[in-house]
């Protein structure tokens, strides 16, 4: 199975195939609006603006599994991200990233890039970098600022035929 075989739901409830992102470098994060890491949206937007022309796609997946920090509706989340952080990258429908109902995307990501304490996502703003061939190349902890990922993003953007 490939990441491109997976589909996700948009905030409006439409099915969206990840095959649309074939050939792009992906920055995928589980997010929340009422988390201490929420200001990372601003840095994620900066990365999106800086690198989208070179092939980066930033994808956010809200999750309400950590202390109820994303309790709003998908519409509320969209408005929050736009108004407070000027987010122009896709913020999809809420997903589960741990437990019995883990979304297949996060099953895929965590299986390919287990964390320090195992596969499960431990908190909001766990970030994954996926190369142009759909391979998960890096997993970043919630406390890692997105701006600190720029070098890794640039390296993946420079690769044309896969990586190490």
* DSSP state letters, 69-107: TT-S-HHHHHHHHHHHH---S-B------SSTT--HHHH
- Tokens 């299986």, residue located: 111
Tell me, what's the pLDDT at 164?
A: 46
140, β-bridge pairs: 127
Average pLDDT, the chain: 92
Distance CA 55, CA 147 (A): 17
> Whole-structure pTM over 0.75, yes or no?
yes
Coil, helix or strand at residue 65: coil
Tell me, what's the pLDDT at 118?
A: 67
Judged by average pLDDT, the poorest of 16-25, 57-66, 154-163 is 154-163
Q: What pLDDT digit, counting tens, does each position of 35-65 carry?
A: 988 999 999 999 999 999 999 999 999 999 9
> Hey, which residues are catalytic here?
35
Record the tokens describing residue 16, joined without a space: 């969206």
Q: What percent of the chain has pLDDT over 90?
A: 82
Structural domains in the chain, CATH included, are: 3-157 (3.40.30.10)
Distance CA 37, CA 98 (A): 19
Tell me, what's the pLDDT at 108?
A: 94
Q: State residue 118 phi and psi, 5-degree precision.
A: 110, -175
């Amino acid at each position: 199975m490939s990441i491109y075989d997976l589909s996700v739901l948009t905030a409006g409830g439409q099915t969206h195939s990840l095959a649309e992102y074939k050939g792009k470098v992906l920055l995928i994060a589980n997010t929340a609006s009422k988390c201490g890491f929420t200001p990372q949206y601003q840095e994620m937007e900066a990365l999106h603006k800086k690198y989208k022309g070179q092939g980066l796609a930033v994808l956010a997946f809200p999750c309400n599994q950590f202390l109820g920090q994303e309790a709003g509706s998908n519409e509320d989340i969209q408005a929050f991200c736009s108004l407070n952080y000027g987010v122009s990258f896709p913020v999809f429908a809420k997903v589960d990233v741990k437990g019995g109902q883990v979304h297949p995307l996060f099953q895929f990501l965590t299986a390919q890039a287990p964390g320090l304490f195992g596969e499960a996502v431990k908190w909001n703003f766990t970030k994954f970098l996926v190369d142009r061939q759909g391979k998960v190349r890096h997993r970043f902890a919630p406390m890692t600022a997105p701006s600190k990922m720029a070098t890794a993003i640039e390296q993946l953007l420079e690769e044309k035929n896969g990586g190490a």
